[in-house]
Every structure is written in structure tokens, then in C-alpha cells.
Amino acid sequence: MNRYDAPKTPATFHVKSFGCQMNVYDGERMAEMLGERGMTAATEGSEADLVILNTCHIREKAVDKVYSDIGRLTREDGTRPMIAVAGCVAQAEGSEIQRRARNVDIVVGPQAYHHLPDLIDKAGRGEQAVDTDMPLASKFGALPARTKQARPTAFLTIMEGCDKFCTYCVVPYTRGAEISRTWSAIIDEAMALVDGGVREITLLGQNVNAWTGEDGKGRMQGMDGLVRELAKIGALKRIRYTTSHPNDMSDGLIAAHGDEPKLMPFLHLPVQSGNDRVLKAMNRSHSTDSYLRIIERVREARPDIALSGDFIVGFPGETDAEFEDTLKIVEQVRYAQCYSFKYSSRPGTPAADMDGQIPAEVMDERLARLQAAINRHQVEFNTATVGRRTDILLERKGRHPGQLIGKTPWLQSVHVTAPDLGIGDMVEVDIISAGPNSLAGEPSRRKAA
């Protein structure tokens, strides 16, 4: 084991999050919790007393990267910081992590990270510090109030877990069953974020549109009701949400896209495959026809909506003809952007034991063809934006002096040169050019409200 030389009570920390937006949110909440404990985030380039690797278990390469990062934390003199592995890899592998990487001091799952301060104390005393319990009680009540944000956008988890049990996915095993946070807790956190300077909130959940809960008057609400309530917060200018499941795309939520201006015209709605037999084998519980009918209804409600999706190529048993069906649905929907992956076998999932595992070279060829189609449509969508006047929310500095980067309502990055503006400003711009991944704009004479 490498020599551990961090203080028994670490003073500084660094959180490195992998994977999805929910991990980013969890990483922020861990940082806030440690801040309440009196610890400070290590400055860039300095060595932290505690390093937390907040992990993702969706793909095999992500798991390998975690172990690689653990090894790199050993310094040239053989010493190392206190190391914590959090998130879904921690949940899936538990104390096996400490057996495989003996320099790991803390293992904590995504439903137990509110116990992190106690685990740090245990590790400081040289005790085993592993917590991968998934209690029915929500962790959120144990987390500190939100602090002032350094940027104008923020993630807000409104539910966790998944009851869908797609045959390729580990989330039900690492995040547990679907649990919706309470209406009041979500509203309170949103208001705290807005009071701290946030102007755009992205609601998060493994199946975010499955959220349900009682409002302040005891009435059951779906996510459309929650969105409409959040829209009443005056200083909150934009609302987004991800990731959605087609089976939870309610009539009310579709309608909200048409009549709630603060709900941005962007929908990430994964289909995963364009072939019904493959969808059934994936246990996706929707068909290509039902998915396309949802897309049609959403476009009727909000004609300018930008669509995003997820695709898996090379699912066990997928034939060439079935893959061609995926290309067909991509051509039919014409997504503004997409995420696409080769099937990755995850231990413990039903698909890992299915016959017909696809050779890597076949998956590579299919993925290249799929991504070529997706990229073509993304360029077409971006190019169609040229000449449009729209509002963007400035989020960060660009690479050049006076350059700022913001997002359109359709989640496109826009570079503008505007030395008189600042991060957090909402500004009206004219889109003057488009590339594959971003746009260029010029501020109009009017600053947006």
C-alpha cells in the first residue's frame, strides 16, 4: 500500500466527477457538505488532502478510468492523499474496490454520500470506511442548504433511481428504485439557487419525467405541474430537464412545452434503437411507432423544438437489417444532437448473458455510420439557425479576450465578443455563422430581460 500522508482530518479536498449530470450535481453537493465541515476546495495545481473520485458505472471504459486515476494519485515520493471512491462504481463494487486498489480509504455509494464526513473520520482513524447502503429514506434532508453558485446555471436533482430495468443498464442496481423528492424541497432548493444568482435550472433524474408529488395544497402533480410552479420564480429565466423516458412523456408535459415560455424548446428523449425487436430485448417498453407519435405531438405543441436522443449500437443479437432501422429513425426524426454508444456489457445485467454478442469491429463500423448521420443533422440544424435573432445566457469566458460563451434556447453554444457584458447576462444576439458544435453571434442593441 502506498504511504498515506494526508492529515487525519483533511483540510482541503478535490472532487472529480465522471459521467452524467447527476454525478455533477452529487459532486457539487459533496463539496458544499465538506465546506460546511470547514474544509476548502484545493486551488488549481495544488495537492488536496482528500481526493474524491465520483464515479460512473454505465460503461466499462469509465470503470477502467477510475482505477487508472486511483493509481495516478500516488506522488513521486510514494505518498498520496486520502482517497475516496464515490458514485455508481462504489455502489456496484463495494469493498472489492479496496481489495483491488488498496490505497483507497473510503468507498461510498450515491445514496450514502451524506455520510461522507463520518467516513472521513473513520478513515482518519485507520478504520474501514465503506457505505453502500440504499436506505428508503432520502439523503437530501441530510444535505446542507445550497450555497451561492459561481455560475448562472445549475443542476437540481428532483428524483433518483429507476424502475424500468432496461436489460443493458446498471442504474436500478446502483441508484436503486425511483424516489421523487418532495415538492417543497425542490421549490426551496430552486429558490435558494436563484437567490444565489442562478438564472437557468436543469431538473435531473434518471427518468426525470416520472417525477410525482403532492403540491403545497395536497394535490398530486406530475412534472408539468412542478415546471409551472418553478416558472413563477421571477428571477428564474430558463428551465430544462433531463433525462426523459418515452413512457413518462405525459399530456401535461407535452402541453407545457407549448405554453410555458420559461421551459426551453429542447427535449432529450432517448429511443436507443429504431427496431422493435431490439427495443423489446432491451425491455424499453415502447415501440418505434409510439416513440414517433410522441415526437409528432411535441412538435405540434412546440414547432421549433430541438430534439436529442441516445442510441446503442451492437446490442446482443442486433442484425444488419435491425441496425438499418436505427439509421431510418435518425433520418426521420433529424435530431439536433445525439449521444451514441457501442453496447457495453455490464456484469449483473440480463443483456450480459444474452446470445449473439456483437464483435467489436462490427460495432465500430455501425457506430461510425450512425455518428456520421447524427453529425450531418446537427450541422444542418446549426446552419438553419444562421440569421436568427435569439436570446442567449452568457455562461463562461471564451478563449479570446472579450469573448463570452452562452447557450441558445436550443442548447447550442454561441461565441460572442462582448467586452461590456458579463457572465450571467441574458443578451439578444444575431447568429452569424455555424460550425458542427457551436455558433458565432453578434450582440444586437438590446440586452435581454
The sign of the dihedral angle between the CA atoms of 180, 26, 88, 314 is positive
**Distance between CA atoms of residues 160 and 388, nearest Å:** 38
Residues 447/425, Cβ–Cβ less than 8 Å: yes
pTM beyond 0.75: the answer is yes
- Average pLDDT rounded to a whole number, residues 192-211: 95
Three cell numbers, residue 415: 461565441
At 397, phi and psi to the nearest 5? -80, 150
**Distance between CA atoms of residues 106 and 129, nearest Å:** 5
**Distance between CA atoms of residues 198 and 178, nearest Å:** 27
Neighbours of 203 (CB within 10 A): 22
Residues 184/220, Cβ–Cβ less than 8 Å: no
- The overall average pLDDT reported for the chain is 91
Residues 196/234, Cβ–Cβ less than 8 Å: no
**Distance between CA atoms of residues 202 and 187, nearest Å:** 13
Q: Is 195 helix (H, G, I), strand (E, B) or coil?
A: helix
Share of the chain above pLDDT 90, in %: 68
pLDDT score of 141: 67
Task: Choose among 244, 29, 242, 25: nearest CA to 117.
Answer: 29
Kindly report, residue by residue over 311-343, the tens digit of the pLDDT: 999 999 999 999 999 999 999 999 999 999 999
Length of the chain: 449
Q: 287: buried, middle or exposed (CB in 10 Å: 19+, 13-18, 0-12)?
A: middle
Residues 108/116, Cβ–Cβ less than 8 Å: yes
**Distance between CA atoms of residues 195 and 253, nearest Å:** 26
Q: What is the DSSP letter of 16?
A: E
HSE of 439, CA atoms in CB hemisphere, 13 A: 30
Share of the chain above pLDDT 70, in %: 93
Kindly report, residue by residue over 97-124, the tens digit of the pLDDT: 888 888 899 999 888 888 899 999 999 9
Cis (ω within 30 of 0) for the bond into 55? no
**Distance between CA atoms of residues 185 and 160, nearest Å:** 14
Neighbours of 116 (CB within 10 A): 23
State the pLDDT confidence band at 442, using cuts at 50, 70 and 90: very high
Q: Is 132 helix (H, G, I), strand (E, B) or coil?
A: coil
Q: 374: buried, middle or exposed (CB in 10 Å: 19+, 13-18, 0-12)?
A: buried
State the pLDDT confidence band at 259, using cuts at 50, 70 and 90: very high
Give CA 316 to chain center in angstroms. 26
Axis-axis angle for helices 21-36, 116-124 (nearest 10)? 60
- Average pLDDT rounded to a whole number, residues 365-392: 97
Tell me the one-letter amino acid at 156. Answer: L
pLDDT score of 200: 98
Kindly report, residue by residue over 160-190, the tens digit of the pLDDT: 889 999 999 988 888 888 999 999 999 999 9
- Residue linked to cell 435581454: 448
Residue 136 clears pLDDT 60, i.e. is over it: no
- Residue linked to cell 459532486: 27
Element (H, E) at 159: strand 159-160
